[in-house]
Chain A
């Protein structure tokens, strides 16, 4: 303060150029980011390159053939692709309402004291290894879920997807026809989809502007009225995005599905009936004893899975980021 301001009033140069240590810092950080990017890009690239030969050799048959029988030179993923989508859809149908309800419960209804614990529990649910969900599904869920399957078959059997090739009303019913089905696999996968979707939804709900919440209450809305008119519209992008992210997870789930679902190569829509297959299950189970040709075909199947999940996830990321930047009117 001793120096007169008048005499020394030279403005500080805003862009003096970075010192060397910073140039090194920025350069190395950028290099690491490029390395990470290259590794991830290489995953897609390698799978793509390795599957060209398969696509050449089998052409469109690769997508229309249901059998996976390398000895007979019959290799196709139509059944597995359909199974992948069916399991994922069942998982979403089970997980979506539960995830939405849990997210709303945590963000709106849970007492503030236990909120952090509940959030951690949802994270924990996402971190429970899928092999443990698989064991749970196989040993605990499957014996009881087959009764649900049978009940659905008995009462909704006229809908084609709920049909099973057995008599639903037989006194001694064919229990094994209802086990290891895509329905049960879907329920197990939903346990892994749920925490992912729930975490995204809760994050978006928590960002609903407090001003609008209070405005709704001030206008006399009940709690549900407030949620319906403020929280849900605000969180729409997050709800859709979180669900899509869950779908990406459901499409790629491997170990739990491989444990619960019994293998069958068949294009089928009867989700309650035993047997089915998904791409990831196919890869996991056929990898060990694969010949070179079969290996290439498995990599091609992996590439298809990669493209599917990448598409779904990118869409999800766009939707989630839109909802965050979203039309929040802060009062």
Chain B
């Protein structure tokens, strides 16, 4: 970025006397010169060698985290000094900021990476046994070996609850989005404000609400349906918001073309707007499903954690993956914790699968012309 001929100064800095202003090159903003590359690589290697020497050989330190922090700080200092030998202050600041921001982004990536990798490493032990997928926990004590018991009941419970939640929240969320973008008016603004505020309302409160209405007021027992309704309450605003974004990018010209041809508003929406936005709408649904299947807090309240297999969402508690994980990792028995991590890998796998699907859908960006 700094392969500039012009003095890359802030506005107050006047061009130095020797500046070559004769060549009229366009400025290449994102190009990297040899100087850029070499000063980064040199600073990285130099600081690595220096810090390794001081940290491990001279000072009696050992921790890897401390080493990484010291290395990074030393790298920034080295980089600044190296740059300041040949460049004015603005370029030094710019380079150091670029390195700092990149470092922070890498740190975030590492954190996400450790979450995934650590879960998988702890979970493979339980996944290695096929009974983990084909058995439930009925009659299995927490301290029993991994060859007994499994999470079939939790997987099936999660699938049933998510299916019901999608059946409830997809029509409601999508219609709300259509109302907000296509029908409009002052009331749509009110709806949008409320939906936006609701996206970030703690999911726990959805559980409380369902508990108060369905279980206390109507006298039902804790069951899978209540859990599914709590999940769909948290999914509706997610679907409505992201579907609204998908609908809004449909070019207005398409709508006007449909209306100008004499089509009713309804058939314009049904035959032009919705098909055009289909990939975006599918993305919004799957994003909401990824969030919905990991929903734990409301389930703590409305769906009892059973150990047995239950296909009926209307009767008796129904376990689900997040709930199983939550109770398993709080168990004092190491084998139960292994099971919890095994279930966590399954859950993470489902979420990742949903994400792979959204990436696939997002690639087919523009709808059919």
Contacts and interface: CB of A to CB of B under 8 A. Distances in A.
Interface of A: 18-19, 21-22, 24-26, 28-30, 32-33, 35-37, 39-43, 46-47, 50, 97-98, 101-102, 104-106, 108-110, 116, 120-121, 123-136, 138-140, 144, 147, 191, 194, 196, 198, 217-225, 227, 245, 248-249, 251-255, 259, 280, 283-284, 287, 295, 298-299, 302, 305-306, 309-310, 313-314, 316-317
A101 B105 contact: yes
A97 B104 contact: yes
A251 B173 CA distance: 25
Nearest to A147: B63
Given A132-B294, A252-B200, 15 more contacts: A43-B205, A102-B104, A126-B291, A129-B293, A131-B344, A134-B329, A135-B325, A136-B114, A136-B119, A191-B115, A224-B94, A224-B98, A252-B202, A252-B205, A295-B216
Nearest to B291: A127
Listed from nearest, the 9 A-B pairs whose CB atoms lie closest are A252-B202, A129-B294, A101-B104, A222-B94, A224-B94, A105-B105, A254-B297, A25-B266, A32-B175
A46 B212 contact: yes
A47 B266 contact: no
Contacts of A314: 193, 197
A219 B11 contact: yes
Interface string B87-130: 00011011001101110110111011011101100100000000
A47 B105 contact: no
Contact of B102 (A109, A219, A306): A109
B176 A36 contact: yes
Contacts of A222: 1-2, 8, 90-91, 93-94
B290 A127 contact: yes
Interface residues of B, number: 106
Contacts of B269: 25
Contacts of A309: 200-202
B347 A33 contact: no
B151 interface: no
Given A50-B212, A101-B100, A217 B29 contact: yes
Nearest to B206: A43
B90 A30 contact: no
A278 to B, nearest CB: 10
B202 to A, nearest CB: 2
B279 to A, nearest CB: 14
A131 B325 contact: yes
Contacts, number: 280
A223 B201 contact: no
Given A40-B198, A225-B90, A305-B202, A135 B344 contact: yes
Nearest to A137: B115
Interface string B162-198: 0000000001110110111011000110110111111
Nearest to B270: A25
Contact of B300 (A32, A106, A255): A255
B350 to A, nearest CB: 10
Interface stretch (B134-142, B247-255, B351-359): B351-359
A185 to B, nearest CB: 15
B297 A255 contact: yes
B264 A21 contact: yes
A221 B10 contact: yes
A224 B208 contact: no
B329 A138 contact: yes
A284 B301 contact: yes
B265 A223 contact: no
Contacts of B355: 120, 123-124, 127
B178 A29 contact: yes
24 contacts: A19-B264, A21-B267, A25-B266, A26-B265, A29-B175, A30-B183, A33-B175, A33-B176, A33-B187, A39-B236, A123-B355, A125-B112, A127-B351, A127-B355, A130-B294, A130-B297, A135-B340, A140-B114, A198-B108, A220-B11, A222-B8, A222-B91, A254-B203, A255-B300
A110 B212 CA distance: 48
B315 interface: no
A220 B7 contact: yes
Contacts of B329: 131, 134-135, 138-139, 259
- Most chain B CB atoms below 10 A, which of A19, A29, A123: A29
B8 A299 contact: no
Contacts of A251: 202
A97 B100 CA distance: 11
A37 B190 CA distance: 9
Contacts of B55: none
B271 interface: no
A21 B268 CA distance: 12
Nearest to A28: B175
Given A28-B175, A120-B359, A287 B301 contact: yes
B101 A33 contact: no
B44 interface: no
Contact of B6 (A139, A220, A313): A220
A120 B296 CA distance: 23
Contacts of A140: 114, 118
